[in-house]
Amino acid sequence: MAKTMTQKAAPGLGLDADLARKLLRDMILIRRFEEKAAEAYALGKIGGFLHLSIGEEAVAAGATSALRPDDYAISTYREHGHCLVKGSDPRRVMAELFGRIDGLSKGKGGSMHLFDKEHNFLGGHAIVGAHLPLAAGVGFAIKYRGGDQVIVCYFGDGAVPEGEFHEALNLASLWKLPVVWICENNRYAMGTSLERALAQTEIYKFGQTYGIPCEPVDGMDVLVVRDAVARAVDRARHDKTPTLLEARTYRFRGHSMRDPAGAVYRTKEEVEREKLRDPILLFRDRALKAGVLSEDDAKKIEKDVNDLVDEAVAFAEASPEPEPSELFTDIFKEPA
């Protein structure tokens, strides 16, 4: 599973049942997990901001399938999916969203700040653009120590006008750092469309500016994402060349739960049209038609995921709130 796949996604899919099952399972896991999280939010069990990536699942699932477990990933505040498919226990992710002690960060981070050191998931960062230099720093450390890991850095189209996008891409290119930059271009930075934010809306072209391989990718096609990321990972791992991928995707929900309709800045017709390219349905249909998966396989995956997510919610509900003393722990790391 950890091996990279360098061939283009073929019409016959060219993938085995195990991989197909994993990709479908990962995407459905993100979808169900976030649907449950939205329910819990509506019930007041999750507070603050909750940003869903429903519609964008193919990017996280496809990209992660091209990584080794010891590779790193770092992301934005819309990171439930990236974290889950990197290997985090859905129960602990849900407990974090609930603000409970068994959450990944003992309930101190919440939805926007998921971290999982065991799975090399470096966070959940909620200042737009700020984690791009951190990704370059992780790439710097990998190279400094002579390792062959890579780091995948997810960010939205909203980060592209930020200075840190440009500083980080420049440094990673200048110093040849093993970073795979994945822009999840869902066309809206909150409510501001690409056209209202960028003089150059073909985001992948900024890679040309910084002299690195770059390409636009259909972010609704999990196999296309996997293929492009696998090639980028290969370059990063073997000759430390960073790559900028622009995964063109779409979020079916609002910017956050406080923007449930998302209909002010985009039309309902547009949203409904994009839903026809639902990455889960697209892949499911193709896998069934190609005979890689059966209806029973798909149903079993859905049932298993539903059970897992239900279990995650039950686990989160049962987990205690942090003790008052936790307020003052972890501000500093104390000497061992």
Q: Report the residue number, 102 or 274, with the smaller CB distance to another protein.
A: 102
Residue of 33, 41, 115, 210 that binds another protein (CB under 8 A): 115
142: number of Cβ within 10 Å: 22
User: Which residue bears the tokens 């399938």?
Assistant: 65
Interface with another protein in residues 67-96 (CB under 8 A): 72, 74
73/154 Cα distance (integer angstroms): 8
As beta bridge partners, residue 192 has 189
Residue of 42, 174, 281, 318 that binds another protein (CB under 8 A): 174
Binding mask 246-285 for another protein (x = CB under 8 A): ----------------------------------------
Question: Comparing C-alpha atoms, which of 98, 95, 96, 172 is closest to residue 131?
Answer: 172
Q: Report the residue number, 155 or 250, with the smaller CB distance to another protein.
A: 155
In sequence order, what are the residues at sequence separation of 6 or more whose Cβ sits closer than 8 angstroms to the Cβ of residue 23? Answer: 15, 61, 62, 65, 222, 223, 226, 283
In sequence order, what are the residues at sequence separation of 6 or more whose Cβ sits closer than 8 angstroms to the Cβ of residue 300? Answer: none
Whether 79 and 114 have beta carbons less than 8 Å apart is answered as: yes
Q: Does 109 bind another protein (CB under 8 A)?
A: yes
Question: Comparing C-alpha atoms, which of 151, 153, 295, 287 is closest to residue 221?
Answer: 287
- Stretches 8-16, 112-120, 209-217, 246-254: which one binds another protein (CB under 8 A)? 112-120
Q: How far is the CB of 243 from another protein (least distance, A)?
A: 18
Per DSSP, the three-state class of 214 is strand
- Stretches 208-216, 257-265, 274-282, 323-331: which one binds another protein (CB under 8 A)? 323-331
Q: Cα-flanking dihedrals φ and ψ of residue 87, to 5°?
A: 125, 0
Q: How far is the CB of 70 from another protein (least distance, A)?
A: 11
Residue of 4, 35, 38, 141 that binds another protein (CB under 8 A): 141
Q: How far is the CB of 18 from another protein (least distance, A)?
A: 31
Q: How far is the CB of 94 from another protein (least distance, A)?
A: 15
Whether 120 and 69 have beta carbons less than 8 Å apart is answered as: yes
Rule CB under 8 A: which residues touch another protein? Answer: 72, 74, 103-109, 113, 115-117, 122-125, 127, 130-142, 144, 163-164, 167-168, 170-171, 174, 329-335
